[in-house]
Amino acid sequence: MEQIGESAHLIDGNMGRNGLDGILEKGRDLLAEDLREGSPAAATKLVDKYYEQIYRYMRRLGHGRQTSEDLTQESFLRAWQHTEQLRNGRALNGWLYRIAGNVSRLYWRRGKGKGAVSIEGFELSQTDDGQVEQAEQDEQLERLNKAIGELPLKLKEAIILHYMQQLTISEAAQAQGVREGTCKSRLNRALERLRKQLG
């Protein structure tokens, strides 16, 4: 009897994990469906859930605080205007980041963002042994921010979407409007350039 109980516990543990993923996916699917139907409550939920992420994305792309706020709001407005393009909840991240990326590129193309701004919001992970001093981390972070800021836009976007915004390769590719292989290639080229720059 105990052996059956242990097996049932393992099954329940696995089902719990898969069940949570299923619940999250179902929630995204419902949000996407509600957005396509024009639900104002769904639009509010989208903004509540993603505002900070899109704002940080704009900051990391090099926009100032006020401009990032404006571009973030513009991104949500454009998303609301183009909900028919959202296929399902699984595509939600890529769809929203693609809109935000397009809003950012349009801003740069119009020449409004002529001055370069340093990338903010990137954090180095804390080491378990705590031996790295804060001054060294600050210096490394400054060098990394500068190097990322100097990358060509397509490579910078790939790095920011995947490593800083923590999108999957698939979501980052969708956000950039490219195939996964192209996204991986951009990431590899960006990392190679960063390695060369940072030594």
Structure tokens given for 39: 């639900």
3-state secondary structure of 38: coil
**Predicted local distance difference test score (pLDDT) of residue 140:** 79
- The reply to whether 21 and 99 lie within a common domain is yes
pLDDT band, very low/low/confident/very high, at 21 (cuts 50, 70, 90) = low
CATH number of the domain encompassing residue 75:
1.10.1740.10
Copy the structure tokens of residue 195. Answer: 């390695």
| pLDDT, average across residues 10-29 | 58
Nearest to 100 by CA among 122, 74, 120, 121: 74
How many domains does the chain contain in total?
A: 2
DSSP classification of residue 192: H
129 contacts: CB under 8 Å, gap ≥ 6: none
Same domain? 101 vs 142: no
| Domain shared by 166 and 197, yes or no | yes
**Does residue 53 lie in a domain region?**
yes
Domain assignment present for 126: no
Instruction: Say which CATH number the domain at 157 has.
Output: 1.10.10.10
Examine residue 171 and state whether it is found in any structural domain, yes or no: yes
d(C-alpha 193, C-alpha 199), whole Å: 10
How confident is the model at residue 19, as a pLDDT? 60
Residue 78 is assigned to a structural domain of this protein: yes
Residue 179 falls within a domain, yes or no? yes
Both 15 and 96 in one domain: the answer is: yes
- Local confidence band at 89 (pLDDT 50, 70, 90 cut-offs): confident
Predicted pLDDT of residue 186: 95
pTM (whole model) above 0.75: no
Which of 69-73, 84-88, 110-114 bottoms out in mean pLDDT, i.e. has the lowest?
Answer: 110-114
Same domain for 92 and 147? no
Of 50, 27, 52, 30, the C-alpha closest to 39 is: 30
Q: Is residue 195 situated within a structural domain?
A: yes
Domain end residue (candidates: 60, 80, 113): 113
Q: Is 68 among the domain residues?
A: yes
Q: Do both 13 and 67 map to the same domain?
A: yes
User: How many angstroms separate the CA atoms of 134 and 22, rounded?
Assistant: 41
- pLDDT band for 50, please (50, 70, 90 cuts): very high
Confidence of residue 151 (pLDDT cuts 50, 70, 90): very high
Region 127-134: what's the mean pLDDT? 52
pLDDT digits (tens, 9 = 90+) for 161-192: 999 898 999 999 999 999 999 999 999 999 99
pLDDT at 2: 43
* Residue ranges making up the domain that contains 139: 135-199
Q: What's the CA gap between 60 and 48, in Å, rounded?
A: 20
Q: Which pLDDT score is estimated for 111?
A: 77
